[in-house]
Structure 1
Amino acid sequence: MKKYVLLVLIAFFALNLSVAQSSCSEYYPLVDGATFQYTSYDKKGKEEGQINYMVTNVSSSGDQVSATMAMEIADQKGNTYNSSYDIHCDGNVVKIDFKSLMNEQMMSQFQDMEVDVSGTDVELPNNLSVGQELPDGNVSIKMKMGGAINMNMNVETINRKVEKKEQVTTPAGTFDCVVIYSETKSKMMMTNQTMPSRVWLAAGVGMIKQESYNKSGKLMGSSVLTQFSK
């Protein structure tokens, strides 16, 4: 199950806040019961699995809104993993609380370990414009497994910028999007990789499409919005 920890963190950054729109969020519908389904494909276009999100526990105070994103990852073999994280909208900026990624279910995998979680919240402002640079984000997890054995995981998103505007059609419909480029760096034990990616965002819906590439710029995988309701 520990492999799902890195998978959740990578999905968290790669999807660049695939959440929902409220009065303080231009791009994301923070509405109780809103659901999103993304289908993932490999570099050859073969379906690999799905990620389902649901917005829950929405509360507001003034121009601040908070909610929980419930997430289920399912692969083609029928394996599933459930997680959740907290989202806050304050004024005109949406933030994901990185510490909430390490919820009770995920932490139960490390009952006999000393775990330290640090990082920065991922931010996305409402006023996106072509050429705009966006703040980096990261999550670092350090685990002491007893004796001299330690295991560290780190996932960060860097070089985030708004590249262009583009219209995209998926099974969920046709959307006018802004395209955000970023690089996701992940480190776990002896594994170290950097994956450039692009995310297509539509106002009132969130992420419509995401593509990941290798260092040479070749497509390695993608996800598209296949169902959406609010």
Structure 2
Amino acid sequence: MEEGATFQYTLYNKKDKVEGVTDYIISAVENSGDNTTATMQFTFTDEKGKNIMESDYKITCTGEGIKIDYESLFPTQMKKQYEDMGMEMDITGTDIEIPNDLSAGQALDDANVNVSMDMGAMKMKINVDTYDRKVEKEESVTTEAGTFDCYLITEKSKSKVMMSNLETSNKVWISEGVGMVKQETYGKNGKLMSRMELTKFDK
């Protein structure tokens, strides 16, 4: 959580082909009492280098751990598009929390975001629930950015948009002083859908 720190994550599909790159920069760091809050700005470009999305969200470090703004689950650019259409939006949820003192077998709190949109005759709801989060083990992970000592966290996710439902499970490797190093997403059938790895890191 140092201003100016940069991270780059590369997204691969199930066939190990690059689908896009997300570049992050910590644009601001604010201190208030025992809390430190960092603003994470990011840009996602596709495999051809075309800018697809820009957004930002906040991460807060408390004396007990890290809290990630639940609104990070709903892209700012998408929110702006809906608002430009005259749609009123109400976003509520529970922040994603990662305690400082992780240990194998530890259960972590659930997180969710609920979006209600209203444009008169048109109403829509989006719900994303992240649950069954737990720390599996400690292990070393090597990516293009280096080798990191990590905790492996597993979790399940359920997204509901109107009548459409999507269920996935994730494996997330996080490292102290860095954050997420690697993530794998699996479908309901247990097959790998995509993975994302830290490919550049500078602070």
Taking structure 2 as the reference length, what is the TM-score of the superposition? 0.92
Identity %: 51
Aligned to 1:145: 119
Determine if contact 1:167/1:175 at 8 Å carries over to the other structure. yes
What pairs up with 1:113-192 in 2 under 5 angstroms?
113-147=87-121, 149-192=122-165
Structure 1 ranges of 4+ moved more than 3 A: 99-107
Cα distance in 1, alignment partners of residues 51 and 109 from structure 2 = 34
Whichever residue aligns with residue 93 of structure 1, its letter is G
Q: 1:190, CA displacement in angstroms?
A: 2.7
Of 17, 21, 28, the residue aligned with 1:50 is 21
Unaligned 5+ runs, structure 1: 1-29
Residues 44 and 35 (structure 1 numbering): CA distance in 2 closer, same or farther, change over 3 Å? same
Q: CA RMSD in A?
A: 1.7
Shift of 1:213: 0.7
State the aligned residue count.
200
Do the aligned partners of 1:32 and 1:55 also contact (CA within 8 Å) in 2?
yes
Partner of 1:92: 64
Aligned runs of 1:1-230 on 2, under 5 Å?
A: 30-77=1-48, 78-99=50-71, 105-111=77-83, 112-147=86-121, 149-230=122-203
CA shift digits 1:130-150 (9 cap, x unpaired)? 000001111111111222x21
Q: Which has the higher contact order (CA 8 A, sep 6+)?
A: 1
Q: Is the 8 A contact 1:200 1:208 kept in 2?
A: yes
Q: Which has the higher strand share?
A: 2
How far, CA to CA, are the matches of 2:152 and 2:8 in structure 1? 20
Aligned-partner SS, 2:80: helix
Query: SS where residue 108 of structure 1 aligns?
Result: helix
CA deviation vs aligned residue, 1:20-74 (integer Å, no higher than 9, x gap): xxxxxxxxxx100111100000111011001111112102234211110101111
Q: Which runs of 5+ in 2 are unaligned?
A: none
